[in-house]
Structure 1
Amino acid sequence: MAISDRGGRRRVPGRGDVLVTPADPSMPRQVAVPMGAPARLFLYAAGAVISLIGPSLLVAAFVADLTTGERWPLAGGGVLAILIGVPCTALMWRHMRRAHRDSLRLAAAGVDAVAEIIMFSPAAIGDEDGVELVLWVSGPGFAFEALSLCREHPSLVAGARLNAIVDPSDHLFAIVG
C-alpha cells in the first residue's frame, strides 16, 4: 500500500505527523512520525533560543540605560516571553523525545500486524481536511480497535488493509509502508 515519492522513499498514503493521543491511557496509542536527527537538533536549538529571549529582555530592561517608561514595557515583554516560550519549548521537546522513544521501542519490540479500515469520517487536522479512521488492528495473539487521523487519500477507504507495527504489551502502534 506504500507509494514512492519523488525522492524514491516509501511513504504511506495520507500519513503525516499527526498524533492521536486517547483520553483514556488504557486505549491504543499511535506513534507520531519521528523526525531525523538534523530536524531534532534544529528544533532543540530553536527552542533554546526561544526560551532565552525572555531572560535576555529582562536583563536588557534593567542593565541598559533606559527611562522608567521604556524599562517596564521591555521587562513586561521579557516576562511574557518567559511565560509563553518556556512552556511551549518544554512541550515541543517532550513531544520529540516521546516520538523518538516510541519509535525505538517499536523497532525493538514491534510485531508485524494488519490495520483494516473499518470506518472513516471527515475530520479537520489543523487547517487541512483529513479523515478519522477507525482501524481494526490484528496480529499474532492480539486484536484491538484504534483511531487514526490522517490526510485524505483516495486509497483510504473502508475495507483497505494497511501494514502496521504493534507493541503487544500496550498496543502502541504505527502504520508503516
Structure 2
Amino acid sequence: MTGDEGASARQASVDGVGGRTVNRLVAILCWLSVPLVPVALFLDGEDWAWWEVPATIGSLLILGPIGFVMWSGANRARADIARLRQSGRPAVAEVVGLELDEDPEGPTMAVLSLRISGDDVPPFSATYRCRPEPGFKVGARIKAVVDPFDNLFTLKRI
C-alpha cells in the first residue's frame, strides 16, 4: 500500500491512566445503578405502579449499553497505546487545514486536517480532533507516532 491507496487513518485514543480509570468507574456506576430502580421500588413497600416496570426496563436498556461503551472505550485506549508503543514509527504531521468546532453545550474542539509522513511511514491524510492549542496553525509541523499497518496515529508523545 502506498500513499493514500485504500488506506484510512484512525486517531488513537490516548486518554492516559486517569482517563481510562474514569471511564471504567463511570461504566461500573452505570451498571450498579440499573438494579437501584427495582430495589428502591421494592423497599418502598407499596404495590408497583404501571410506570415502574417500564422505568426498570428502560434503565437497563439505557444504562447497560452506556456502561459497555465506556468500558470498551477504556479498553480501546489501552490497546491503542500498546500498539503505538510496540509498532509505532516516528512521523511528522503537517497541518493543512484547521476548523474550530464551537459547541455551545461543550468545549470548543479543533479539527485538524493533516498530511502525515515519515521515513517508515507512507504519506496519508488524516483528521485529528482535540482541544485547540496555540501551535495548531495551517502549515505547522507536529511530531506524530504512526502504526503503518493501518495508519493508527496520535500527535501526543507515547
Bin for the TM-score computed over the shorter chain: 0.7 to 0.9
Structure-2-length-normalised TM-score: 0.81
- 1:66: which partner in 2? 46
- Report how many aligned residue pairs link the two structures: 150
The alignment-based identity, stated in percent, is 29
1:108 alignment partner in structure 2 = 86
State the partner residue of 1:28. 9
Please, which runs of 5 or more residues in structure 2 have no aligned partner? 1-5
Q: What is the alpha-carbon distance in structure 1 between the residues aligned to residue 142 and residue 96 of structure 2?
A: 11
Tell me: CA distance 1:55–1:107, structure 2 relative to 1, closer, same or farther (3 Å): same
Written as runs of structure 1 = structure 2, the 5 A alignment for 1:132-147 is 132-141=111-120, 142-147=122-127
Q: SS of 1:76's equivalent?
A: helix
Where does structure 1 lack aligned partners over 5 or more consecutive residues?
1-24
Moved more, 74-83 or 159-168: 74-83
Out of 107-116 and 133-142, give the one that drifted further. Answer: 133-142
Determine if contact 2:144/2:155 at 8 Å carries over to the other structure: yes
Q: Is the 8 A contact 2:41 2:48 kept in 1?
A: no
Supply the distance in 1 between the matched residues of 2:116 and 2:19 (Cα, whole angstroms).
Answer: 31
Aligned match for 1:118, one of 96, 104, 107: 96
